[in-house]
């Protein structure tokens, strides 16, 4: 149905190149987040943090080039026309700019965060429905972000993407259909065999630290 | 949160919620449980990450030529986003439920449905129905089965049925195979948030006759 492999990042070298200088500055702020054996995927978080902290339009442009077409593709596979998907993808990227202060790299990768914005936009635009959200926890980006946790979260998410790409096609297509909104809630079966345990443990630990601090 | 939760959200429901595919009444129950349960919140993060990976790798579609400039113009021309106060917990009602009810337990307009049970139907969209149930301590709920799925989240007190005991924060997921007669434990009255995607199947004649009026 949809070929997920290989998961290309054609614009990544451009990002790495154009942002060498800014990345160096970001290192001071974010410590190890950007300096990981040239793993390009890690840079999205650094770019979004530049949008968050410095309102950096060039960093936003790089995020836009990578994520906007993916949001558009995701929405089209969810049943939106090209025109509606284009319009919603622009909205999603505007939300990314406006809500960048809510992004916490220790909790989610940029791809995950963009997905949640796109999903909510899809529910508004295509299903015209509401989706109650869990209670907010006062665990927004901390003044001193846990840099190791942030790095590991980005890496876990990359590994998850690789694991999905390696799944037998039938299973992979079912997961994709669930997320494209092609399966009803009674048709979704979640026995994916995906390595979700590490992400779960990481968030669980972060929550325990938070509860401890609040307690 | 010192609540000891034993009965959690299923993987399928967590994935459905992460994918944005649940009817509003079910989303309300899941969001309310997630507000009480760090374990499920952490599992949920995993399913959102799957969504990120699917979107990342499922194929890009080129944006129109001036889309970046158009988006920057949108950002510049839009009024600064209003930062709304996040909905807050009200007593035993976690934020998503308090937002739906428009307040805490005291704001609920209960309606007696007889047999020591009161209910309040919540204003969710069509497709599945959510209600609050108030069951007097020690009271039995009429014996029933399910045509679809019934989610019952305990907010106060506890109930028991043929399968187990359900206390605060516990979620019972009942499907077509489960036929049960929940009984509220002695002590505190039991308050639950319940959602169904099809009418229940009552055994007793009285409950069956009353069903259209009770909208259960």
Of B38, B55, B71, the CB nearest to A90: B71
Residue A151, Cα to own-chain centre: how many angstroms? 13
Q: Quickly name the fold that domain B7-79+90-216 has.
A: Jelly Rolls (2.60.120)
Cα gap A18→A29, rounded to integer Å:
19
Q: In the prediction, which pLDDT does A202 show?
A: 87
Domains in chain A, ordered, with CATH?
A: 12-214 (1.10.1740.10)
Mean pLDDT of A109-129: 90
Of B21, B49, B58, the CB nearest to A73: B58
Residue A31 C-alpha, separation from nearest chain B C-alpha, in angstroms: 23
Q: Do A100 and A52 meet the contact criterion of CB atoms below 8 Å apart?
A: yes
Question: Which tens digit of pLDDT belongs to each residue from A31-72?
Answer: 333 333 334 444 899 999 999 999 999 999 999 999 999 999
Residues A123, B20: C-beta atoms closer than 8 Å: yes
Cβ neighbours of A43 in B, within 8 Å? none
Interface with B, mutate which of A68, A132, A191, A203 (most B CBs under 10 A) = A132
Q: In the prediction, which pLDDT does A16 show?
A: 39
Residues 150-179 of B with CB under 8 A from A: none
Residues A185, B74: C-beta atoms closer than 8 Å: no
Q: In the prediction, which pLDDT does B83 show?
A: 67
Residue A14 pLDDT more than 90?
no
Q: In the prediction, which pLDDT does A143 show?
A: 52
Cα gap B157→B155, rounded to integer Å:
7
Residue B96 C-alpha, separation from nearest chain A C-alpha, in angstroms: 6
Residues A190, B61: C-beta atoms closer than 8 Å: no
Q: Do A14 and A62 meet the contact criterion of CB atoms below 8 Å apart?
A: yes
Domain residue extents for chain B? 7-79+90-216
**A159 is written with which tokens?**
């590994």
Question: Which tens digit of pLDDT belongs to each residue from B28-85?
Answer: 999 999 999 999 999 999 999 999 999 998 789 999 999 999 999 999 998 766 666 7
Cβ neighbours of A208 in B, within 8 Å? 38
Cβ neighbours of B67 in A, within 8 Å? 64, 68, 86, 89-90
Buried b (16+ CB within 10 A) or exposed e, A52-68: beeebeebbbbbbbbbb
Of A132, A204, A207, the CB nearest to B100: A132
């Amino acid at each position: 149905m949809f070929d997920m492999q290989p998961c290309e990042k054609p614009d990544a070298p451009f990002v790495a190149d154009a942002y060498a200088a800014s990345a160096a500055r970001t290192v001071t702020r974010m410590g190890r987040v950007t300096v990981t054996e040239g793993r390009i995927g890690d840079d999205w978080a650094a770019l979004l943090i530049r949008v968050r902290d410095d309102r950096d339009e060039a960093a936003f442009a790089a995020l836009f080039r990578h994520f906007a077409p993916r949001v558009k593709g995701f929405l089209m596979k969810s049943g939106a026309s090209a025109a509606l998907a284009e319009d919603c993808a622009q909205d999603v990227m505007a939300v990314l700019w406006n809500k960048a202060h809510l992004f916490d790299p220790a909790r989610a990768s940029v791809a995950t965060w963009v997905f949640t914005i796109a999903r909510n936009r899809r529910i508004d635009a295509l299903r015209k429905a509401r989706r109650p959200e869990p209670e907010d926890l006062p665990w927004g980006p901390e003044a001193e972000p846990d840099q190791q946790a942030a790095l590991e979260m980005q890496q876990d998410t990359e590994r998850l993407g690789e694991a999905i790409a390696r799944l037998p096609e039938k299973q992979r297509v079912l997961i994709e259909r669930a997320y494209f909104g092609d399966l009803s809630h009674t048709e979704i079966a979640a026995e994916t065999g995906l390595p979700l345990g590490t992400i779960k443990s990481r968030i669980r630990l972060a929550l325990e630290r938070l509860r401890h601090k609040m307690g | 949160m010192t609540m000891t939760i034993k009965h959690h959200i299923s993987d399928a429901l967590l994935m459905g919620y992460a994918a944005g595919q649940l009817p509003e009444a079910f989303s309300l129950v899941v969001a309310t449980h997630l507000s009480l349960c760090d374990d499920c919140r952490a599992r949920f993060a995993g399913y959102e990450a799957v969504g990120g990976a699917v979107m990342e790798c499922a194929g890009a579609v080129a944006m129109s030529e001036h889309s970046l400039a158009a988006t920057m113009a949108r950002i510049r021309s839009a009024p600064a986003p209003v930062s709304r106060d996040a909905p807050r917990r009200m007593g035993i009602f976690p934020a998503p439920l308090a937002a739906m009810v428009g307040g805490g337990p005291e704001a609920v307009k209960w309606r007696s449905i007889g047999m020591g049970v009161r209910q309040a139907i919540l204003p969710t969209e069509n497709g599945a129905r959510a209600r609050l149930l108030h069951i007097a301590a020690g009271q039995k709920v009429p014996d029933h089965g399910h045509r679809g799925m019934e989610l019952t989240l305990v907010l106060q007190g506890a109930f028991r049925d043929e399968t187990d005991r359900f206390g605060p924060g516990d979620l019972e997921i009942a499907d077509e195979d489960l036929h049960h007669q929940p009984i509220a434990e002695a002590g505190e009255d039991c308050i639950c948030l319940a959602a169904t995607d099809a009418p229940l199947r009552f055994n007793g004649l009285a409950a069956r006759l009353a069903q259209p009026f009770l909208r259960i």
